[in-house]
Amino acid sequence: MSTMLDSSPPMAAPKVAAAKAVSMKERVETALATVFGLVFLSLAALVTVETLSRKLFNISLQGADELGGYALAVGSTIAFSLALMGRNHIRVDVFHEMLPRKAQAVLNWVSITSLAVFALFIDYVALKVVADTLEYRSTAQTPWATPLIYPQMVWYAGLVIFSLVAVGYAARATFLLFSGRTSDVLHEFQPKSAKEELKEELDDLAQRHAAAGAHQ
């Protein structure tokens, strides 16, 4: 009787863990994409107001350019993480597919590991920049004279998020590679093929058509 009431098979646990990991990844991607969109929608609204006030009332807010620079800096750091999670970073893979599967997996591991090391190096250099700004109490050379520590802290937070994502991916690639799970390394860290990119574009087009049809 106890045999009949045994829990799920041993293979179910890895599948559940993988599903949870995918769900977490999707939530993080959605959160980052939402912040990214809000940053640039806010900037677009500000630029619109600035343009209209100049044309209609000959009045300038004198801050659109400054905020545009901050938005670009912060948005770039968010885009780093989104590109990594979506496997959209550019890789030179002319000979990659010609190599044996094991060699491809090793190169994928080298790629993500070196990216994680580079992300940590960027954090180190950026921290020195933020520390200097804090020490000298630097301000922007603009009419607002914004204390640079505030936008730089947001910028640095974006870099830290990118490094955490990169290190997490590198740790997973290391675990998969040295566990002998070559297929998983290839599936999760392989450069995107032309077929994959085409499928994503077609799926996105179908979703937009479905959304447009629902609003009609």
DSSP 63: -
pTM of the predicted model, to two decimals? 0.81
pLDDT bin (cut points 50, 70, 90) of residue 19 is low
Contacts for 42 with CB less than 8 Å, ≥ 6 apart = 71
Q: Which of 3-12, 185-194, 207-216 has the lowest mean pLDDT?
A: 3-12
| pLDDT tens-digit map of 83-94 | 999 888 888 888
Q: Which two tokens stand for residue 88?
A: 């959209």
Q: What is the mean pLDDT of residues 113-119?
A: 97
CA distance 89 to 38: 23
Q: What does pLDDT average to over the chain?
A: 86
- H-type alpha helices, 58-181: 64-85, 101-136, 149-178
The end-to-end CA distance of the chain, in Å, is 58
> Closest Cα partner for 101 from 184, 39, 37, 168?
184
Of 184, 188, 201, the C-alpha closest to 86 is 188
pLDDT band at 2 (very low <50, low <70, confident <90, very high): very low
124-128, 144-148, 181-185, 190-194: which has the minimum mean pLDDT? 190-194
Tens digits of residue pLDDT in 120-142: 999 999 999 999 999 999 998 88
